[in-house]
Chains A and B, each alone.
Chain A
Amino acid sequence: MTYLHNIGTYFIMIKDIFRRPTKWSVMKPLILKDIDDLIIGSLGIVAFISFFVGGVVAIQTSLNMTSPLMPKSLVGFATRQSIILEFAPTFISIIMAGKVGSFITSSIGTMRVTEQIDALEVMGINAINYLVFPKFIALTLYPFVISIAMFLGILGGLMACVYGGYGTMEDYIEGVQLDFIPFHFFYAFIKTFVFAFLLATIPSYYGYFMKGGALEVGKASTTSFVWTSVMIILVNFLLTSLLLG
């Protein structure tokens, strides 16, 4: 029953995100601040992880290609497919559930604990719109982060391959261009948009509806990370079955 209640409350919250909108002059700086906190602030870690994981994927693929019949260009092909289809949209989203999700839950949760959300409600402000809508809009730029992750992942693979002595640049680039299916990009960005929605709303739900004090803010952040990750994995499976299955 608790799960059903939570799911119901979550969907009511989503409806409330778009109800009684806050004045644009107030909302605009909030959106810009959230773009800075959630998108720009995540670029460094996303770039670092993508570049090195791309390199690791290239090295692993190369080391596992023991047959001399396999063309060397397969390293670039396998790296591209892994990065575009799964690593960039899904793996990065799980990392973002930890980084961005915890930030959202703890910032909204702290506002709940310190009665700042009550203060907004007493003033007659739709606190859900005021707090969650800017995050929702900021995360519509999330595909930009994933595009960078894709580019740097493939670049990392190239660097590892060439400078690690696993293949030539020409082979790798040939592999990256091999059998390119544009729909795979479309599939990856559909997933990215859905994950962005989950990243904005699930952590906000756990922050907004938390009860208790400072200790519960930490617990809510952990729970939010767990459930955001679970939902990303489940939705990933569902979308992959629907779009590629």
Chain B
Amino acid sequence: MIEVKDLKKSFGDTQILKGITTAFEKGKTNLVIGQSGSGKTVFLKCLLGLFEYESGSISYEGKNFTKLSRDEKTNLRSEMGMVFQGSALFDSMTIAENVMFPLRMFTKQSKSEMEDRVDEVLKRVNLDDAHNKMPSEASGGMQKRVAIARAIVNRPKYLFCDEPNSGLDPKTAIVIDNLIQEITEEFNITTVINTHDMNSVMEIGEKIVFLKNGLLEWEGSSETIFRTDNEAVTSFVYSSELFRKVRKMYLEESE
């Protein structure tokens, strides 16, 4: 479980996060949504320890991140997996080498053990014939799946994804969403996803946190988001005609 209390972060005179308090439960797919500039990416990078924050706290299983020693932070980070918006694959390595990289860095496994684990994970993301391809030879959807494979290869406790569906066609986006949700349940990990994609919100949002101007405006689930009358949420989530119709149908059916 990840607990965030009164998190504040500024760049110069501009305050990006203005005191966010929330919690992300283990084994659940947690979504952070909001308009561009609402502070989602900064929030995620604070969770990952890539940005230092001015005040507040972030605790992983009760351990305050900022109070950890350097070695403890390194150990904690080795329990995190991250899927970046642009996949962030190492372009000098093949797909198999990219996936093997965390194992080479953090484990003492033999080469054959590492290769077996890479095979297993690539199979899990349906990429069992892509071992020797370079990232530049893979499509956007494949790169995202490789990034997911790299993120989970070391059996992390926490999985973070920054807009995993950006730049993907709707069908591939659903494949990626479902894959993340299955992996979350299968390995019982805490997953936090930053997204703009309303399909993801409806499909896999077990917990949804809505940020607006650096503040937590609303939190709920993919079910309660249909019933909320919070204007900021409804104007963002139901900005398209399609989603307004989906909401109307949902509400009619539930009555």
Neighbouring B residues of A25 by C-beta, 8 Å: 104
B78 at the interface (CB under 8 A from A): yes
A118 CB contact (under 8 Å) in B75, B84, B90, B91? B84
- Candidates A115, A121, A125; contact of B105 at CB < 8 Å: A125
Beta-carbon contact of B105 and A22 below 8 Å: yes
| A69 sits at the interface (CB 8 A) | no
Cβ contacts B50-76/A at 8 Å (1 or 0 each): 100000000000000000001001111
Please, which residues of chain A bring their CB within 8 A of the CB of B105? 22-23, 26, 123, 125
- Do A119 and B104 touch across chains, with their CB atoms under 8 A apart? no
In-complex Cβ contact of A116 among B73, B85, B90, B104 (8 A): B90
Q: Are B104 and A115 in contact (CB under 8 A)?
A: no
B148 at the interface (CB under 8 A from A): no
Cβ contact within 8 Å between B50 and A118: yes
B112 shortest CB reach to chain A, Å = 15
A90 and B108 CA atoms in complex are apart in Å by: 45
* Per-residue B-contact encoding for A68-105, CB less than 8 Å = 1, 0 else: 00000000000000000000000000000000000000
| Chain A 19-37 interface residues, beta-carbon cutoff 8 Å to B | 20, 22-23, 25-26
B140: which A residues are within 8 A, CB to CB? Answer: none
Contact call A115/B85, Cβ cutoff below 8 A: yes
> With the chains together, A71 CA to B105 CA distance in Å?
64
Instruction: Please indicate the chain B residues that have their CB under 8 angstroms from the CB of A123 in the complex.
Output: 77-78, 80, 101-102, 105-106
Q: Please state if A122 and B48 are interface contacts (CB–CB under 8 Å).
A: yes
- Chain A interface category by residue count: 10 to 19
Instruction: Determine whether the beta carbon of B86 is less than 8 Å from that of A119.
Output: no
Query: Does A114 count as interface, using CB distance less than 8 angstroms?
Result: yes
Q: Is the CB of B84 within 8 A of A23?
A: no
A23: B residues at CB distance < 8 A: 104-105
Q: Quick check: B74 and A114 within 8 Å, CB to CB?
A: no
Q: Which of A173-208 contact B (CB under 8 A)?
A: none
- Per the 8 Å Cβ criterion, residues 92-113 of B in contact with A are 101-102, 104-106
Q: Is the CB of A118 within 8 A of B78?
A: no
Asked if B82 lies at the interface with its beta carbon under 8 angstroms from chain A, I say yes
Per a CB cutoff under 8 Å, which of B74, B84, B160 touches A124? B74
If A124-B74, A124-B77, A124-B78 touch, whether A115 touches B84 (CB-CB below 8 Å) is: yes
Which chain A residues border B45 with CB–CB below 8 Å? 118
Find out whether the CB atom of A119 lies under 8 angstroms from the CB atom of B82. yes
Chain A residues in 8 Å Cβ range of B74: 20, 124
When A23-B105, A26-B104 are in contact, do A115 and B86 touch as well, CB less than 8 Å? yes
Given A20-B74, A25-B104, 12 further pairs, Cβ under 8 A: A20-B70, A23-B104, A23-B105, A116-B89, A116-B90, A116-B91, A121-B50, A121-B77, A122-B80, A123-B78, A123-B101, A125-B105
Chain A residues proximal to chain B, CB less than 8 Å: 20, 22-23, 25-26, 114-116, 118-119, 121-125
A to B CB contacts below 8 Å, 10 in the list: A20-B74, A25-B104, A26-B105, A115-B86, A119-B82, A119-B90, A122-B50, A122-B82, A123-B101, A124-B74
